[in-house]
Amino acid sequence: MKALLICPEQRPAVSHLAEICPLVLAPMMGKTLLDYWLDHLAGQRVTHVHVLASDRPEQVRAWVGEGARWSMKVEVAAEPRELAPAEARAKYRGNDNLGWLPEPDDVSVIDFLPGQPDWPRFTSYVDWFVAAKHWLPRAAAAPDRIGLREVKPGVWIGLRSRVAGDAELLAPCWIGENALVGERAKIGPGAIVENGAVIAGNTDIADSLVGPETFIGEWTELKNSIAWGSTLINWRTDSCTRVPDAFLMCALSQRPAAVRTARWPGRLLAILVMLLTLPVGLYGVLKAWPRGERVLQPLIAVRPHRANGSPASETLIYHEFSAVNGLLRRWPQLWKVVCGDFAWVGNRPLSPAAAAMLSNEFERLWLKTPIGLFSLADAEACVEPFNEEARVHASYYAVQSDWRMDLSILSRIFRRRYQ
């Protein structure tokens, strides 16, 4: 059996969604509209699907590949505009390259979910969100949802997702794969958190969809909204805004994380600071020496990734004082800044055991930045160095860091230190 699918092009009622990606690739519970249609056709034993795409066909082609995921052959043809079913049928009838003749029920404009023509997706943002909520139980019941678990009636959590123990989840609620939900967050009712999203602590999300790989900052309230990257759409009022404050909302993958090396001005500054603060070093020595304790405690850290190696492929040794507390323990690490192994600001060092506990791509962003003498988690006064809050801050810093953020972190740390 064979079928022909026509991808929607322009739908003015949901134009802001189309700015982010082709409408057939808009996310919904970890899949796209095109995924659901191909799943449906595969269940109908269709063997060959021809997809007509007029909106960014290269993205559609890259998404579906050749159809191996569905054990069928999928071909994507670029069209200058969206064809009506009759036009598509006439154009492709008897096409020698295709070698098949579409029947009337084989040609579909996919602007609704398969088998749900009464729930259109692109007539308004209200319809888009209502269709998603209506589809939620059916998506959860799909046999290919490996690792999805219903933790209580109407609340589903995907594979490798982490939800803080004191987070409140209210049905209906969907949390996709590789997502993080922070402490005291309230998710639901009517909340859909897509794959790879990071929800910081003390957030309140209801009747809203959080797009894939989207960060929602602490104390943010999200109601009746579609939040994707920095785009915020109120589906009730059809209003749209771009959120400029990345601490409130941003895309985690908007730019690739890259390892930065320590620069010479920072290394020279570290030498100067060590000379000026030698009494601090002597204090750390004198605190341990009379009691017969070891002055320096050696520790092992995983080096930031410079290639696609394993998390513990390269390590280094650093030291801290053993007899003092707080930030003074890190004074010996100024020498690592001098040597170029540490930066002034970055993510704190991780042991190989801790690095192995980073369970998804967004947590592993921790290892995509320089090891820092100070970190965003320090500026936010995280008590535990490796709890979920610290991991969220590390991932956020890896994506958003620049010299302005580094200066802000340093100023906040020293301002708090000397208040």
221 and 283 belong to one structural domain: no
* pLDDT confidence bin for 104, thresholds 50/70/90: very low
Strand partners, 156: 150, 174
Q: How many domains does the chain have?
A: 3
Domain boundary among 217, 251, 285: 251
Whether 246 is covered by a domain: the verdict is yes
In a domain, 69, yes or no: yes
Per DSSP, the three-state class of 47 is: coil
300 shares a domain with 406 = yes
Q: Which amino acid is at 234?
A: N
CATH number at residue 25: 3.90.550.10
* Residues 89, 200 share a domain: no
What angle, 0 to 180 degrees and rounded to 10, lies between the N-to-C axes of helices 33-43 and 57-64?
50
State whether residue 283 is helix, strand or coil: helix
Does 96 score more than 80 pLDDT? no
Q: Is 53 exposed, middle or buried (0-12, 13-18, 19+ CB in 10 A)?
A: buried
Count of CA atoms in the C-beta half-sphere (13 A) of 322: 12
Structural domain boundaries, residue 402: 264-417
Q: State both tokens at 306.
A: 């410079």
CB 174 within 8 A of CB 357: no
**Segment among 31-35, 114-118, 184-188 with least mean pLDDT:** 114-118
- Find residue 11's DSSP bridge partners: none
What is d(CA 145, CA 157) in angstroms, rounded to the nearest whole number? 11
Threshold 0.85, pTM exceeds: no
Q: How far apart are CA 83 and CA 89, in angstroms?
A: 9
Q: Are residues 85 and 41 in the same domain?
A: yes
Confidence of residue 95 (pLDDT cuts 50, 70, 90): low
Look at residue 173 and tell me if it is in a domain: yes
Q: Residue 175: is it exposed, middle or buried by C-beta count within 10 angstroms (0-12/13-18/19+)?
A: buried
240 and 287 assigned to the same domain: no
Q: Give the Cβ contact number of residue 116 at 10 Å.
A: 14
Same domain flag for 233 and 269 = no
Q: Are residues 314 and 375 in the same domain?
A: yes
- Using one digit for the tens of pLDDT, what is the confidence trace for 274-305? 999 999 999 989 988 787 788 999 999 998 86
Contact 249, 243 (CB under 8 A): yes
Tokens matching residue 367: 């290892």
Distances in Å between the alpha carbon of 168 and those of 187, 201, 205? Answer: 6, 11, 10
- Whether 135 is covered by a domain: the verdict is no
List the beta strands (DSSP E) in 164-295.
Answer: 168-169, 173-175, 180-181, 186-187, 191-193, 198-199, 204-206, 208-210, 214-216, 221-223, 225-228, 231-234, 239-242, 249-251
The 10s digit of each residue's pLDDT in 57-89 is 999 999 999 899 899 999 999 999 999 988 888
Residue 230, domain CATH: 2.160.10.10
Whether residue 256 has pLDDT greater than 50: no
What percent of the chain lies above the pLDDT cut of 90? 54
Question: Is 338 inside a domain boundary?
Answer: yes
Once rounded to an integer, what is the mean pLDDT over residues 100-116? 74
Last residue of a domain, one of 74, 103, 119: 119
User: Which distant-in-sequence residues (6+ apart) come within 8 Å of 234 by Cβ?
Assistant: 125, 224, 225, 240
Query: Is there a domain that residue 279 lies in?
Result: yes
Residue matched to tokens 């003498």: 373
Query: What are the φ/ψ torsions at residue 375 (nearest 5 degrees)?
Result: -140, 170
Q: Which of 334, 352, 261 is nearest to 296 (CA)?
A: 334
Check whether residue 203 and residue 243 sit in a common domain. Answer: yes
Residue 139 included in any domain: no
Residue 311 phi, psi (nearest 5): -60, -30
Q: 274 and 247 in one domain?
A: no
Per-residue pLDDT reduced to its tens digit, 324-364? 988 999 999 999 999 999 999 999 999 988 888 887 767 88
Report residue 36 CA to chain centroid gap: 22
Statement: residue 203 has pLDDT above 60: yes
Cβ pair 206, 189 in contact under 8 A = yes
Q: 311: pLDDT confidence band, cut at 50, 70 and 90?
A: very low
Contact (Cβ atoms closer than 8 angstroms) between residue 124 and residue 142 = no
Which of residues 226, 251, 276 is at a domain's end? 251
Q: Is 256 part of a structural domain of the chain?
A: no
Which residues, in sequence order, are CB contacts of 147 under 8 Å at separation 6+?
Answer: 158, 159, 160, 177
Question: Are residues 370 and 295 located together in one domain of the fold?
Answer: yes
Residue 359 C-alpha from the chain's centroid = 13
- Write the DSSP assignment of 315-331 as a string of letters: EEEEEEESS--GGGGGG
**Confidence at residue 292, expressed as pLDDT on a 0 to 100 scale:** 78
Are both 173 and 225 inside the same structural domain? yes
User: Do 189 and 279 fall into the same domain?
Assistant: no
Task: Please state, in angstroms and as integers, the Cα–Cα distance from residue 186 to each residue in 22, 49, 212, 392, following that order.
Answer: 31, 42, 18, 17
- The model's confidence at residue 5, banded by pLDDT at 50, 70 and 90, is very high
